[in-house]
Structure 1
């Protein structure tokens, strides 16, 4: 079947099998290897992308069901045009919220939605339990999550400060 997806702001047309998973199309078909394949069962969160703005596990989504949607991968948010990290990425870096890096793309995609939602609500500092609840869909064997939580809090605080200045 012929499909079109908007991936990282660019329309992509291709032929896909009915049972093709979105993670397969992104990695194998489009060469966007920042989206990782971890468990293949939707439990680890390594494959998280944003589908029409909502974080989803791309190993559980058929490519055909995403047709016509906007898909954002880590490559689409990884840096600003001038090469600087996004606020969340910089906060995670400063707080040592990454270790081996395997789970990092999925966490950045999922946590990016969390930080955006916090900003939309005007929340200055989400609580640790709120952040940890959001993270339940992302497994990390290296960080223990403490530094990730601090990174999210730092990113949210920076956004709140920017809102107050602007």
Structure 2
């Protein structure tokens, strides 16, 4: 006669085997696709910021090409652009005051979208672009279901930038 505990242990082992047999390859495919997408976003962000830093400006064409590269992943992203400028004011004899000003999306987009012109930056200014996921990657959602983790979302954010290398007058 079959022992009830052995029966349920065997049944549990079979169910667990089939669950892992099915979900393991699915998770692996999701993880590979998510890694590819993450690398694509990093590459597109790096190329965009290098082009902007080299040109010394952002225009509508450059920004739209960047958005097209992001849209190839078919996932939504939040893009934040920050231009940092440094102003130096005299403050008496042999003294000065340095003020750092950050110009964000609103100011930059007003220039390139509403005024249809180039947003100019000066040599030595800083430029940074941050791309953040607005939708959690499939592999992380599936991994959370394995681990039975709560509703905390893990959204990746990619930041890149540097100093403006050229400027136009």
TM-score higher than 0.5: no
Higher relative contact order (CA 8 A, sep 6+): 2
TM-score normalised by structure 1 residue count? 0.26
TM-score normalised by structure 2 residue count? 0.26
Between Structure 1 and Structure 2, the one with more strand by share is 2
Between Structure 1 and Structure 2, the one with more helix by share is 2
